[in-house]
Amino acid sequence: MKDRALRAIAECQRIAAMTEEPGRITRRFLTPPTHNVHAHLRARMEALGMEVYLDAAGNLRGLLHPEGASDKRLILGSHIDTVPDGGAFDGVLGVMLAIECVDLVRQNGLPLAVEVIAFSEEEGVRFGVPFLGSRAVAGRFDPALLALKDAEGVTLEGAIRAYGLDPTLIAGSAVDDDTLGFVEIHIEQGPVLEAENLKVAAVTGIVGQTRLTLEFAGQANHAGTTPMNLRRDALAGAAEWIAAVEKLAKRTEGLVATVGKIEASPNATNVVAGIALLTLDARHPHDAVRLGSVNELIEMANSIAERRSLAMQCTRPMDQPAVSMDERLTAYLADAIEAAGFPPKRMHSGAGHDAMVMASRMPTAMLFLRSPGGISHNPAEAVRTEDVEAALEVMSVFLQRVAGAVR
Ligand SMILES: [Zn+2]
């Protein structure tokens, strides 16, 4: 397996050079370097005897149908777009390992049909909306999205046409019912596995997420002449709330809550701030805990505002429910982890993935690999050969068991 792991890593590095910006890894949805990635992946898949095509949403799809295999196929894959100045392994490693899985199926003569999907878009960088590729495959692509524009004013429809595809055919990209399920292999993009000295984990679900924008409004006034007891300081109110957010998240198991942005107005050294605008990003694997915590935080903001004679307004631009992975498929994967000789660690994902969208259409599971330093969305993103090897060992057991079960 070590040779396979080294090959998968080398392939990720090779694809990293197919970028919009020399010296940085940036590959947004269907930008020119995507042609090179598709040509390379197509050649790899065709060499394995797969039937390959590009669907109307720009997803590259290859099918291996060994003789004697049932028509019910297992789908493996991840995305090939990146964030600006991203890493070499986010998404792409999942595609490369999917291709190695096909090679394992062939080498072991397993009667298992496998489809590999290199999703065209997951990060939402170019058009501000993520999961464009997996939405199409899951049959959840809203044609209204085609009117979205990128920073240069190109519509999503125009981008798809410029790539040589017909956006009116996107509905036809949806998968049929001849599927066993979808498995995505992905780097963890966080520090949990490293902290626990584990190589891989089965993902139980993807956290739900709420985003809030809050505005505390008081009275901008002279920093020298306004006594402390006569101030309506919006920034001090916001600061009190930020501390409360951290405190609540620390005492709520599984909750992560972040105030990542604040704007004070007039933002001057000698002026009491009249307005403070801030954001909240709160995530938890259970919707009830997330929603309850967010309500508690809004109540706290209200009571802080009242006590300080501030006005408080709150908008809620995002409320995304948690998504559970399929219990049966996840148990299969966790059993395979154990059978391959590793602790059957289960964990939730704090980040969104194509698996989240695919789960709405079919049984879905995810395998995480340790992220050295917990670093991702960064050129320093890396993987360890031994961890990639472990993922392949797990998948080898998993594929054998799935092949045995569908026979
Ligand atoms: Zn990713």
Residue ending a domain, choose from 270, 296, 320: 320
Residue whose entry in the numeric block shows the structure tokens 């990128």: 150
Instruction: Please give the distance, rounded to the nearest whole angstrom, from the Cα atom of residue 331 to the centre of ligand 1.
Output: 23
Instruction: Please give the distance, rounded to the nearest whole angstrom, from the Cα atom of residue 366 to the centre of ligand 1.
Output: 12
Instruction: Please give the distance, rounded to the nearest whole angstrom, from the Cα atom of residue 351 to the centre of ligand 1.
Output: 8
Judge if 120 and 29 occupy the same domain.
yes
Judge if 202 and 212 occupy the same domain.
no
Q: What is the CATH number of the domain that holds 114?
A: 3.40.630.10
Domain count, the chain: 2
Q: Which is it for the CA torsion 396, 398, 404, 407, positive or negative? A: negative
Residue 307: predicted pLDDT: 98
Residue whose entry in the numeric block shows the structure tokens 């505002």: 305
CA distance linking residue 316 with residue 295, whole number of Å: 11
Instruction: Please give the distance, rounded to the nearest whole angstrom, from the Cα atom of residue 91 to the centre of ligand 1.
Output: 4
Tokens of 39: 């040509």
Residue ending a domain, choose from 273, 295, 320: 320
Cβ–Cβ < 8 Å for 403, 66: no
User: By C-alpha distance, which of 243, 246, 221, 248 is closest to 232?
Assistant: 221
Judge if 193 and 264 occupy the same domain.
no
Instruction: Please give the distance, rounded to the nearest whole angstrom, from the Cα atom of residue 71 to the centre of ligand 1.
Output: 29
Beta strand 200-206 with 346-349 is: parallel
Judge if 93 and 167 occupy the same domain.
yes
CA distance linking residue 321 with residue 20, whole number of Å: 34
Instruction: Please give the distance, rounded to the nearest whole angstrom, from the Cα atom of residue 379 to the centre of ligand 1.
Output: 14
CA distance linking residue 184 with residue 366, whole number of Å: 5
The pLDDT-based confidence of 372 (bands split at 50, 70, 90) is: very high
Judge if 128 and 171 occupy the same domain.
yes
Judge if 287 and 340 occupy the same domain.
no
Q: What is the CATH number of the domain that holds 224?
A: 3.30.70.360
Judge if 81 and 157 occupy the same domain.
yes
Instruction: Please give the distance, rounded to the nearest whole angstrom, from the Cα atom of residue 269 to the centre of ligand 1.
Output: 41
Q: Is residue 226 scored above 80 in pLDDT?
A: yes
Judge if 80 and 174 occupy the same domain.
yes
Residue 373: predicted pLDDT: 94
Q: What is the pLDDT of residues 187-220, one digit of tens each?
A: 999 999 999 999 999 999 999 999 999 999 999 9
User: By C-alpha distance, which of 391, 368, 380 is closest to 8?
Assistant: 391
User: Can you state the angle between helices 385-406 and 327-339, rounded to 10 degrees?
Assistant: 120
Judge if 190 and 277 occupy the same domain.
no
Write the single-letter amino acid at 217.
A
Instruction: Please give the distance, rounded to the nearest whole angstrom, from the Cα atom of residue 193 to the centre of ligand 1.
Output: 17
Beta strand 179-187 with 311-320 is: unpaired
Judge if 244 and 341 occupy the same domain.
no
Judge if 103 and 166 occupy the same domain.
yes
Sequence-distant (≥ 6) Cβ neighbours of residue 17 within 8 angstroms: none
Residue ending a domain, choose from 305, 320, 335: 320
Long-range contacts of residues 66-70, Cβ cutoff 8 Å, at least 24 apart: 66/105, 66/106, 66/109, 66/110, 66/111, 66/112, 66/113, 67/111, 68/111, 69/110, 69/111, 69/112, 69/113, 69/403, 70/111, 70/113, 70/406, 70/407
Q: What is the pLDDT of residues 329-369, one digit of tens each?
A: 999 999 999 999 999 999 999 999 999 999 999 999 999 99
pTM above 0.85, yes or no: yes
266 preceded by a cis bond (ω within 30 of 0) = yes
Judge if 71 and 22 occupy the same domain.
yes
Domain span including residue 238: 208-320
Residue whose entry in the numeric block shows the structure tokens 């595809």: 165
Q: What is the mean pLDDT of residues 17-23?
A: 95
Instruction: Please give the distance, rounded to the nearest whole angstrom, from the Cα atom of residue 54 to the centre of ligand 1.
Output: 20
